C-alpha cells in the first residue's frame, strides 16, 4: 500500500515539476524578449502636451498601484514607457478577473489602500464615479483632441473619457460568400439588400436548415434593438433622458424585421446556433453583426474562418445615425489616494492621452475606433478591417451614455418571448418598457443622446 | 441468486454513477490538449483531433502559474494544519471536559456554521482593513485558523474515545497536554483525516476571500489565477483546462493518502454523540 502511495506521489510530483518547468520557461523568455523602451526627451502630443522633462514627485521615489483586468502586456507597455521617463516612479500593475473586479474595486476605493489608478468600464459608472477625482487637464484641451468628451462632463468636471469607440459591423464568411456566387459588389448597403444576400447564403436540406444566411441569436438586443432605432431617427430615451423609448414605432419595425428575417425569409432560426458569435465561428452561419471585440475573437479562437467585415446596412442610405457605440474608457483616479499618488495618477493619465503609440496600441487591442481625432486616419488603425469600415461615418454613431443593464436584459427577454413563447411584439415591448422604468427608479442615469453632433 | 442479481444491479448502477461523475474530469483533461476552436466546435469529440501541449506551455501567459500554485500550496497546508490542531484541541475540550457553559459554547460554535458567508464577508473585510492585514497572508490564515465544522466533527469523533483511557493516563501521571498530544491525537486520526481532506479542499478552492484581501500578484493564489482565463469578451478554455488539471493534483494526492481514514472518520463522527 505504502509503495503504491509513494509511486503515486512520485508521479504527481514529477508531473507537476515537469509542467512547472514548462511554465517557468515561458516566463523567463518573456523577460528576455522584452523590447527596449524609447525615452522621449521633447514634449509630445496634440493640444494635450506631455513634457517628459518635468520631474514627478520632486524626483523622490514613489509607488502607486494600477488595477486593471485582462490585458497585462498592454498596460505594462505603457507603464514601462512612463517609468523609463520617470525612474523614481514605480507603478505596480495588479491584474484582476473581469467579473469580480467590480466587487473588489469599490471596497478597496472606499478604504485607504485602494489603487491610485484603475481601469474603468462605463457600464459600472454609477458604482465608480463617487470614488473618482476629476482630471486636471483643461476641458477645452480634452475636447480639442478627443471626440465625445462633452458627454462625460459632470458639473464642469471630467472624470474619464473614451479613448476608443466600439460598435457593430457585419462579419461575413468569405468562403460561403464565394460559394454563393457573391462578390464584393454584392456587399449590401441597405437592409433589403442584406436580406436578399442572406437568402443566397442560406442552405437548406428540405425543411432542415444547414447554413444560416444571417444569425442573430442571443445578441439581437445588443446588436439590433439597441442601435438600429437611430437609423430610423428614434432615440432610446425620450426627451427627459430618463424614460425609455422601447415601444416606439422604430423599435417595433426593427423587431418585426428580425421576426420576418427568420419566419418569412427563412435566413436563420431561433433554434439554429444558440449563440450567433459561436455559430459563425463554427462555420454554421454566413453572416453575423458583432461589435469590435469579435475581430479579436475570430483571430484568436476561430482561426480557420476566413472572414470579411462591412459596415452595418441602413434602411434608406441616409440614416440619422448608423448605430449606437460604447466607449472604452480612460483610467480612473482614486480621490481617496494620498495627494502625491493622485498627482502621479494625473500625470500618468495625461501621458496616456498625449501618447499616440499608447492610443493606437489600446485601440488595436480592443478593436475600438480611436476617439483621438488625429488618429482617425492612422495607417495602423486603417489596416484593421473592423475599424476601417467605420472610418467614413464614425461621426454618425451615437453614445446614449452609460445605460443601466436593464435596457439590455429587458429587451433580450422581450425578444425571447417573441421568438420562443409566441408573445406578440406590442405586448413584449410594452412589458420591457415597464420593466425598464421600474428598474431605473434607483438609477441616476440620464441619456446624453441630445449631445449627438447631428441631434435633431 | 436474488442476492447476486441485486449485487450486480447495484454495481452496474454505481459504475454508471461513477462514470457520470468522472466524465467531466476526463473531458476537461482531454480538452486541455485541444485548441480553443476544437473545444468550442460544433462537432464534439472526447479525444483531441489535433493533440497540442501549448495550453500547458503557455499557462504563464495569463499569470505566474508556478508562483500562484506555490502560494496556494503554502496557504492551504498552513491553514489545514492549523485547523486540524485547533479543531482537535477544541473538540477534545468540548467532548471530555465538563464545565459550566460548555453546551452554550458548543452551540455558539455550531451557530458559526449556520451564518451564510455572504453576511460575514463585509464585516470581516472591514476588520482585516482595520487590523492592517490587507495584502498579507495573515488575512488568509488567521480568520481560517478555527473551523466550526472541524470542531463539531472532532468533538463527535473524540466522544467515541473511552473516558477510561484518559483516566488511566491521569492515574499514571500524564498531564493534560500529554494526554492530548500522545493519546487523543493519535486515536483521533480517522477524524483528523476527514477534516484534513475537507479543509484542504476548501482552502485550495477558496476564491473570493483571497481575491478580496490579496492585491500583490506575487502573493495571489491559484483559485484567483484560474479566474483570469475568463476575459471580458472571451475565455481561453484550453489554458483554463490545462491549469485546472494541474491544480487538482494536490487534492488528488491528499485524497489518495487519506481516503481510507476519511471514510472511517466520517462514519465514526456520524454515529457518535
The chain B residues in contact with chain A (CB within 8 A) are 36-37, 40-42, 53, 56-61, 63-66, 69, 122, 125, 129, 134-135, 208, 211-212, 215-217, 224, 227-228, 230-234, 246, 249, 252-253, 256-257
- Name the minimum distance, in Å, from the CA of B74 to any CA of chain A: 15
**Per-residue pLDDT at A34:** 54
Residues 6 or more apart in contact with residue B105 via CB below 8 angstroms: B94
pLDDT, residue A74, reads: 93
Question: Of B57, B134, B249, which has the smallest distance from its Cβ to A26's Cβ?
Answer: B57
- Main-chain dihedrals φ then ψ at residue A383, nearest 5 degrees: -75, -15
Query: Under DSSP, is residue B51 helix (H, G, I), strand (E, B) or coil?
Result: coil
Q: Which residue has the higher pLDDT, B193 or A360?
A: A360
Contact B42 A283 (CB under 8 A): yes
User: A372-401: buried (b, 16+ CB within 10 Å) or exposed (e) per residue?
Assistant: beebbebeebeebbbbbbbeeebebbbbbb
Instruction: Note whether B142 and B86 are within 8 A (CB).
Output: no
Cα gap A390→A386, rounded to integer Å? 7
Instruction: Answer yes or no: do A282 and B41 touch at CB < 8 A.
Output: yes
Cα A401–chain centre separation:
14
A57-164+327-388 and A168-324+401-451 in the same fold: yes
What's the rounded Cα separation, in Å, for the pair B94 and B88?
10
Contacts of B34 in chain A (CB under 8 A): none
Listed by start position, the domains of chain A span 57-164+327-388, 168-324+401-451
Residue A31: which pLDDT band, with cuts at 50, 70 and 90?
A: very low
Has domain A57-164+327-388 been given CATH number 3.40.190.10? yes
Q: Are A417 and A411 in contact (CB under 8 A)?
A: no
Chain A neighbors of B57, CB-CB under 8 A: 22-23, 25-26
Nearest CA in chain A to B210: A104
Contact A330, A145 (CB under 8 A): no
pLDDT of residue B42: 85
Chain A CB contacts of B227 below 8 Å: 97, 99-100
pLDDT of residue B268: 65
Question: What is residue B259's predicted lDDT score, i.e. its pLDDT?
Answer: 78
Of B125, B129, B228, the CB nearest to A97: B228
The predicted-structure confidence for A296-307, as pLDDT tens digits, reads as follows 999 999 999 999
Interface test with A, best of B53, B66, B72 (most A CBs within 10 A): B66
Q: What average pLDDT does this structure show over B33-41? A: 92
* Chain A residue nearest residue B256, CA to CA: A5
Residue B272 confidence (pLDDT) above 60: no
Average pLDDT, chain B: 91
Q: Annotate A78-103 with three-state secondary structure.
A: HHHHHHHHCCCEEEEEEEECHHHHHH
User: Which DSSP helix (H) or strand (E) runs through B33?
Assistant: none
Question: pLDDT for B76-100, tens place per residue?
Answer: 999 999 999 999 999 999 999 999 9
Q: Which among B65, B216, B233 has the least Cβ separation from residue A297?
A: B233
DSSP per position, A397-429: EE---S--THHHHHHHHHHHHHHHH---HHHHH
Mean pLDDT of A76-105: 95
- Residue among A369, A373, A355, A374 at smallest CA distance from A78: A355
Domain boundary assignment for chain B: 61-271
For chain A, the average pLDDT equals 92
The C-alpha atoms of residue B231 and residue B123 are separated, in whole angstroms, by 29
- Taking CA–CA distances from A283, the nearest residue in chain B reads B42
CA–chain centroid gap for A176, Å, is 28
Whether residue A35 is predicted with pLDDT greater than 70 in this model: the reply is: no
Indicate the pairing of strand A168-173 with strand A208-211: unpaired
In this structure, which topology does domain B61-271 adopt according to CATH?
MetI-like fold (1.10.3720)
Three-state SS across B133-152? CCCCCHHHHCCCCCCHHHHH
Give me the percent of chain A exceeding a pLDDT of 90.
Answer: 88
- pLDDT above 70 covers a percentage of chain B that reads 97
Compare CB distances from A26 to B61, B228, B230 and report the shortest one's residue.
B61
Q: Grade residue B4 by pLDDT with cuts at 50, 70 and 90.
A: confident
pLDDT for position A188:
98
Nearest residue of A to residue B232 by CA position? A98
Q: Is the pLDDT of residue A1 over 60?
A: no
Judge: A15–B249 Cβ closer than 8 Å, yes or no.
Answer: yes
Of A23, A93, A293, the CB nearest to B59: A23
Give the alpha-carbon dihedral of A326, A327, A331, A335, to 10 degrees: -60
> Which residues in chain A are contacts of B222 at CB distance < 8 A?
none
Q: Which residue has the cell 501541449?
A: B53
ipTM of the modeled complex = 0.82
pLDDT at B265: 67
Q: Is A181 left (phi over 0), alpha (psi -120 to 50) or beta?
A: left
Q: State whether B125 and A283 contact (CB < 8 Å).
A: no
- Are the Cβ atoms of B217 and A93 closer than 8 angstroms? yes
Long-range contacts of residues B181-188, Cβ cutoff 8 Å, at least 24 apart: B184/B88, B184/B92, B184/B96, B184/B158, B185/B88, B187/B161, B188/B88, B188/B91, B188/B154, B188/B157, B188/B158, B188/B161
Whether residues B66 and A24 touch (CB distance < 8 A) is answered with: yes
Alpha-carbon distance of B108 to B85, in angstroms, equals 19
pLDDT of residue A43: 95
Measured between CA atoms, how close is A344 to chain B, in angstroms? 20
Query: With bands split at pLDDT 50, 70 and 90, how would you rate the model's confidence at B49?
Result: very high
Output the pLDDT for position A397: 97
| CA atoms of A164 and A147, how far apart (whole Å) | 9
Paired sense of beta strands A117-118 and A62-69, if any: parallel
In tens, the pLDDT along A403-446 reads: 999 999 999 999 999 999 999 999 999 999 999 999 999 899 99
Report which secondary-structure segment, H or E, holds A203. strand A203-205
pLDDT at B258 (0 to 100) = 79
Question: Which residue of B63, B234, B249 is in closest CB contact with A16?
Answer: B249
**What would the pLDDT profile of B13-30 be if each residue is shown by its tens digit?**
999 999 999 999 999 999
pLDDT at B255: 83
**Which pLDDT tens digit goes with each residue over B205-254?**
999 999 999 999 899 999 999 998 888 888 889 999 999 999 999 988 88
CA angle B45, B248, B39 (to 5 degrees): 20
Contacts for B208 with CB less than 8 Å, ≥ 6 apart:
A100, A103, B121
Rg for chain B (alpha carbons), in Å? 23
Residue A94 neighbours by CB under 8 Å, 6+ apart: A65, A66, A67, A68, A115, B215, B216, B217
Strands (DSSP E) found in B20-161: none
CATH number of A168-324+401-451: 3.40.190.10
Q: Give the gap in angstroms from C-alpha A291 to the nearest C-alpha of chain B.
A: 10
- Rounded to an integer, what distance in angstroms lies between the CA atom of residue B205 and that of residue B72? 9
Task: Determine the 3-state secondary structure of A210 from DSSP.
Answer: strand
pLDDT in tens, B134-187: 999 999 999 999 999 999 999 999 999 999 999 999 999 999 999 999 999 999
Average pLDDT value for residue range A143-153: 96
Interface A-B, measured as beta-carbon pairs within 8 A, has a size of: 112
Instruction: List phi, psi (to 5°) of A229.
Output: -55, -35
| Cell numbers for B227 | 479566474
pLDDT in tens, A274-313: 999 999 999 999 999 999 999 999 999 999 999 999 999 9
Q: Which of A31-40, A176-185, B137-146 has the lowest mean pLDDT?
A: A31-40
Determine contact, residues B131/B143, Cβ cutoff 8 Å: no
Q: Give Cα B7 to chain centroid, integer Å.
A: 33
* Among candidates A12, A97, A111 on the partner chain, residue whose Cβ is nearest the Cβ of B253: A12
Angle at B168 between CA B163 and CA B174, to 5 degrees: 110
**Could you tell me which of A297, A314, A313 has the C-alpha nearest to residue A305?**
A297
Find the CB nearest A284 among B42, B59, B65: B42
Q: Considering the entire predicted model, what is its pTM?
A: 0.86
Q: Pairing between strand A326-329 and A153-154?
A: unpaired
User: B256 vs A8: CB contact, 8 Å cut-off?
Assistant: yes
Give the Cα separation of A245 and A251 in Å (integer). Answer: 8
Asked whether the beta carbons of residue A23 and residue B60 sit closer than 8 angstroms, the reply is yes
Residue A316: exposure state from Cβ atoms within 10 A (0-12, 13-18, ≥19):
exposed
Quick check: A5 pLDDT over 60?
no
Are B154 and B89 spatial neighbours (Cβ–Cβ below 8 Å)?
no
In the DSSP assignment, the letter for residue A233 is T
Q: pLDDT of A220-261, one tens digit each?
A: 999 999 999 999 999 999 999 999 999 999 999 999 999 999
Q: Is A17 a residue whose pLDDT tops 80?
A: no
Which residues, 6 or more positions from A163, have their beta carbon under 8 angstroms from its beta carbon? A146, A327, A328, A329, A330, A352, A353, A359, A362, A363, A368, A370, A371, A372
A402: cell is: 452609460
CB B197 within 8 A of CB B262: yes
- CA–CA separation, A296 vs A293, rounded Å? 6
Interchain proximity A23–B217, CB inside 8 Å: no
Neighbours of B190 (CB within 10 A): 20
Which H helix or E strand runs over B113? helix B102-114
Amino acid at each position: 500500500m505504502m509503495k503504491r502511495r509513494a509511486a503515486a506521489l512520485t508521479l504527481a510530483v514529477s508531473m507537476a515539476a515537469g509542467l512547472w518547468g514548462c511554465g517557468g520557461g515561458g516566463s523567463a523568455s518573456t523577460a528576455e524578449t522584452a523590447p527596449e523602451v524609447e525615452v522621449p526627451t521633447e514634449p509630445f502630443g496634440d493640444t494635450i502636451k506631455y513634457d517628459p522633462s518635468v520631474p514627478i514627485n520632486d524626483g523622490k521615489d514613489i509607488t502607486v498601484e494600477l488595477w486593471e483586468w485582462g490585458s497585462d502586456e498592454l498596460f505594462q507597455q505603457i507603464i514601462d514607457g512612463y517609468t523609463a521617463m520617470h525612474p523614481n516612479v514605480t507603478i505596480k500593475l495588479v491584474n484582476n478577473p473581469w467579473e469580480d473586479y467590480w466587487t473588489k474595486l469599490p471596497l478597496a476605493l472606499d478604504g485607504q489602500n485602494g489603487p491610485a489608478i484603475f481601469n474603468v468600464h462605463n457600464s459600472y459608472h454609477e458604482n465608480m464615479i463617487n470614488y473618482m477625482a476629476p482630471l486636471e487637464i483643461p476641458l477645452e484641451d480634452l475636447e480639442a483632441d478627443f471626440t465625445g468628451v462633452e458627454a462625460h462632463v459632470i458639473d464642469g468636471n471630467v472624470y474619464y473619457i473614451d479613448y476608443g469607440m466600439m460598435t457593430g459591423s457585419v462579419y461575413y464568411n468569405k468562403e460561403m460568400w464565394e460559394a454563393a456566387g457573391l462578390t464584393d459588389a454584392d456587399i449590401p448597403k441597405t437592409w433589403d439588400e442584406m436580406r436578399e444576400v442572406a437568402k443566397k447564403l442560406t442552405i437548406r436540406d428540405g425543411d432542415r436548415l444547414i447554413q444560416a444566411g444571417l444569425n442573430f441569436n442571443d445578441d439581437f438586443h445588443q446588436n439590433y434593438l439597441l442601435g438600429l432605432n437611430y437609423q430610423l431617427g428614434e432615440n432610446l430615451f425620450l426627451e427627459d433622458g430618463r424614460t425609455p423609448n422601447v415601444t416606439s414605432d422604430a423599435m417595433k419595425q426593427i423587431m418585426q424585421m428580425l421576426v420576418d428575417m427568420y419566419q418569412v425569409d427563412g435566413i436563420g432560426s431561433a433554434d439554429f446556433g444558440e449563440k450567433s458569435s459561436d455559430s459563425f465561428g463554427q462555420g454554421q452561419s454566413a453572416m453575423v453583426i458583432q461589435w469590435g471585440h469579435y475581430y479579436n475573437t475570430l483571430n484568436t479562437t476561430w482561426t480557420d474562418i476566413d472572414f470579411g467585415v462591412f459596415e452595418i446596412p441602413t434602411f434608406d442610405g441616409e440614416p440619422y445615425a448608423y448605430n449606437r457605440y460604447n466607449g472604452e474608457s480612460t483610467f480612473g483616479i482614486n480621490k481617496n489616494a494620498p495627494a502625491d499618488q493622485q498627482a502621479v495618477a494625473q500625470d500618468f493619465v495625461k501621458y496616456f492621452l498625449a501618447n499616440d503609440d499608447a492610443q493606437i496600441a489600446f485601440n488595436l487591442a480592443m478593436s475600438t475606433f480611436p476617439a483621438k481625432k488625429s488618429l482617425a486616419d492612422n495607417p495602423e488603425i486603417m489596416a484593421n478591417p473592423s475599424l476601417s469600415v467605420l472610418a467614413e461615418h464614425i461621426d454618425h454613431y451615437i453614445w446614449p451614455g452609460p445605460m443601466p443593464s436593464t435596457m439590455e436584459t429587458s429587451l433580450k427577454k422581450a425578444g425571447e418571448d417573441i421568438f420562443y413563447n409566441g408573445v406578440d411584439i406590442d405586448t413584449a415591448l410594452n412589458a420591457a418598457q415597464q420593466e425598464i422604468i421600474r428598474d431605473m427608479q434607483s438609477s441616476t442615469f440620464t441619456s446624453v443622446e441630445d449631445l449627438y453632433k447631428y441631434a435633431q | 441468486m436474488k442476492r447476486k442479481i441485486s449485487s450486480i444491479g447495484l454495481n452496474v448502477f454505481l459504475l454508471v454513477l461513477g462514470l457520470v461523475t468522472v466524465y467531466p474530469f476526463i473531458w476537461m483533461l482531454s480538452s486541455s490538449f485541444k485548441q480553443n476552436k476544437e473545444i468550442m466546435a460544433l462537432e464534439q469529440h472526447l479525444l483531441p483531433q489535433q493533440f497540442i501541449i501549448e495550453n500547458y506551455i503557455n499557462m504563464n501567459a495569463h499569470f505566474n502559474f508556478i508562483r500562484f500554485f506555490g502560494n496556494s500550496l503554502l496557504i492551504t497546508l498552513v491553514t489545514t494544519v492549523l485547523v486540524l490542531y485547533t479543531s482537535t484541541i477544541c473538540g477534545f475540550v468540548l467532548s471530555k471536559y465538563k464545565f459550566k457553559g460548555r453546551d452554550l459554547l458548543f452551540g455558539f460554535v455550531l451557530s458559526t456554521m449556520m451564518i451564510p458567508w455572504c453576511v460575514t464577508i463585509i464585516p470581516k473585510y472591514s476588520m482585516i482593513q482595520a487590523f492592517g492585514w490587507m495584502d498579507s497572508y495573515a488575512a488568509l490564515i488567521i480568520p481560517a485558523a478555527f473551523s466550526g465544522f472541524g470542531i463539531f466533527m472532532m468533538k463527535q469523533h473524540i466522544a467515541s474515545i473511552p473516558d477510561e483511557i484518559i483516566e488511566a493516563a491521569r492515574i499514571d501521571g500524564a498531564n493534560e497536554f500529554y494526554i492530548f498530544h500522545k493519546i487523543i491525537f493519535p486515536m483521533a486520526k480517522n477524524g483528523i483525516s476527514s477534516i484534513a481532506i475537507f479543509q484542504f479542499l476548501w482552502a485550495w478552492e477558496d476564491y473570493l476571500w483571497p481575491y478580496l484581501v490579496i492585491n500583490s500578484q506575487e502573493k495571489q493564489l491559484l483559485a484567483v489565477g484560474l479566474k483570469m482565463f475568463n476575459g471580458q469578451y472571451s475565455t481561453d478554455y484550453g489554458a483554463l483546462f490545462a491549469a485546472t488539471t494541474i491544480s487538482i493534483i494536490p487534492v488528488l494526492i491528499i485524497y489518495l493518502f487519506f481516503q481510507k481514514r476519511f471514510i472511517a472518520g466520517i462514519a465514526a463522527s456520524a454515529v457518535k454523540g
